[in-house]
Every structure is written in structure tokens, then in C-alpha cells.
Amino acid sequence: MHSALPIPSAPSRHPFEGAAGILERVGNTPLVRLCHVAEGLPDDVEVWAKLESANPGGSVKDRPALAIVLDAIRTGRLKRGQRILDASSGNTGIAYAMIGANLGFELTLCLPKNANAERKQILSAYGVEVVETDPLEGSDGAIRKARELAVDTERYAYLDQYSNDNNWRAHYGSTGPEIVAQTGGGVTHFVASLGTSGTFMGTTRFLRQWSPAVKCYSVQPDSPFHGLEGLKHMETSIVPPIYDDTLADGNIEAPTEESFELVRDLARYDGILVGPSCGAACWAALQVARTLESGVVVTVFPDSGERYLSESHLWNAP
């Protein structure tokens, strides 16, 4: 590995240390090369994607949720008899539900009312107490409601994924090292979408430590009025405290319709069924790849398209 200065506040232990049973399966997700959607690129340019749907809870959020819960138990922030409390657009809530069920903790989740049917059905299967919030306020409304409930510290342990450093540390300790290992040290560019921003923050910090030459690009919607579920338009949203806007080499704004088109193309021509945020990440990764003569571009596909099958506007071309 390339030598570099250590990163302040780097985790002293593996973020999933102590996990057992199904929780041991979090991480080590496959990295696959994109073929048909990447046609036309120079021969020496490759685009690869981490398929986070292979996590046991079905999304990239298994990583931060597990790190957050394990740390909360170790430090006494989460005690027996308390309920896990947080806000989510869906995937982190499902991850908490799986983890809580395994470790014996119930979950109260603040969720925008317009979260799709599949997410609500999965949460119901896990027995989650869902507090629905104003759909027009998106994840920001869910955050505000969680903060209201959090005053009852006897009932709730508010884990706050948006400001919890274990969010990004999960990726520093797992996603980043996996990408380096899986590319044989060949990764030259990293691209990831922004929700809580933990995936981008943690993975980028690791890659920068490993090799300052790696270029890292964040992705967010190109408008506050977008259809990219789970992503934040930072200028018009509650900015997660863990987000550092100086870390990226560049920020790429992804359009909704073009991202949806790539979701359909990935399914129909590459055989990869993914959700809207994956389409945005793919769109941005291809934008980066088209500027290169050689390089290995790696992006993250946060979840599976199975969680969006009821959304006909995503699958049916206009």
C-alpha cells in the first residue's frame, strides 16, 4: 500500500467487531464490472460497482447501522429496555430492524409517509413501530420528529445516523479496504451518492490515506425537487453533521430522468436490478469515466430494485 499520514479519529477497532450470527455477513459485498451500460469507453477505462444489496439486510445501510448499534451498546448509549430510535428514508430503518431483532432491541422509526410500499412491508415484517412524517418534508421531517421523541431518554436511545461518526467509520473500516483489495490496488476514481454522506465520507477518507492520487467524487440530485429516493440535495436540506463538503474532488449533480433510464438499462442489459440512487451513482460514474483515457472507476450501488417494484414510473419509460 501507498504510505500517507494517518487520518484523525480513525477507528481503533474493526467497525463490526463483536458481530455474530447473520450480522457476521455484513460487508464483503461483490464488486462487479459494468459492461453494456459502459459501452463506448476506451479499452483502458473500467467501471465497477459494489453491490450492497448482497448485505443481509439488503442495502449499504447495514454497515453504518451495525457499527452504530454495536458502539452504542459498548459505550452504554443503548441499554436493555430502551428502544432504538432514528429517522430514515427506509434502508437504514430496515438495517436497524434486522440488527435489533438479532440483538434483542425493538425499533421506533420516523419515516416519511410517502416511503414506498415495499419498505413499509419489510418494516412491518420485522415488527417495527413506524412514526410517519410529512411527505413534503422528506427525510428532514423525519429527523425533526425523531429529535422530538428523543427527549424521552428512558424509552428511547436516539442513535442519529446523520451525526454519528460511526456512520462514516463503518465505511472507513470496511468499504474502503474492500475496494482496494477487490481491485488489486487498481482503483483510481471513486464515486458515491450523498444521503447521510457516510458512504462517501468514510470510503474517501480511507482511499485518501491509502493513496492521495485517488480522485473522489460525490453525487447528489441536480434539483431540490427530484425523484432520487434516499439522496439529499445539500443546499436545500438539513446538512448531516458528518458531511464535509471540502473532502470531494468534485460534486456531480445527477438528473432524475437520466438516472431512472440507467436503472432500467442496468436491469435489461447488464442483469443488475437496482434502485434510483444506484442509477444516479452509475450516471455520475460514467460521466467521470468518459473524461479518462485510462483508469478504474468504482461506485457503490446502495440497494436492490426489488424495493421499488411498485413504483411504475421508475420502470416504465416515458
What percent of the chain clears pLDDT 90, i.e. is strictly above it? 84
In whole angstroms, give the CA distance from residue 131 to residue 183.
42
Average pLDDT value over all residues in the chain: 93
Confidence of residue 318 (pLDDT cuts 50, 70, 90): low
Confidence of residue 316 (pLDDT cuts 50, 70, 90): confident
Q: Topology of 62-158 in CATH? A: Rossmann fold (3.40.50)
Q: Topology of 21-59+165-315 in CATH? A: Rossmann fold (3.40.50)
Concerning whether 277 is annotated as a catalytic residue, the answer is: yes
Confidence of residue 317 (pLDDT cuts 50, 70, 90): confident
What confidence score (pLDDT) does residue 230 get? 80
222 vs 1, higher pLDDT: 222
17 pLDDT higher than 90: yes
What confidence score (pLDDT) does residue 71 get? 97
Among residues 50, 53, 59, 61, which one is catalytic? 61
Among residues 53, 59, 259, 277, which one is catalytic? 277
88 pLDDT higher than 50: yes
Query: In the chain, what are the domain boundaries?
Result: 21-59+165-315, 62-158
What confidence score (pLDDT) does residue 263 get? 96
Mean local confidence (pLDDT), 225-243: 88
Mean local confidence (pLDDT), 170-190: 96
pLDDT tens for 183-220 read: 999 999 999 999 999 999 999 999 999 999 999 999 99
What confidence score (pLDDT) does residue 312 get? 87
Mean local confidence (pLDDT), 104-129: 94
User: Does pTM top 0.85 for this prediction?
Assistant: yes
Same fold for the pair 21-59+165-315 and 62-158:
yes
Q: Is 200 left (phi over 0), alpha (psi -120 to 50) or beta?
A: alpha
Mean local confidence (pLDDT), 94-123: 95
245 pLDDT higher than 70: yes
Mean local confidence (pLDDT), 116-131: 95
Give the range among 210-219, 224-233, 269-278, 299-308 with minimum mean pLDDT: 224-233
In whole angstroms, give the CA distance from residue 157 to residue 176.
29
What confidence score (pLDDT) does residue 11 get? 56
6 pLDDT higher than 70: no
What confidence score (pLDDT) does residue 21 get? 95
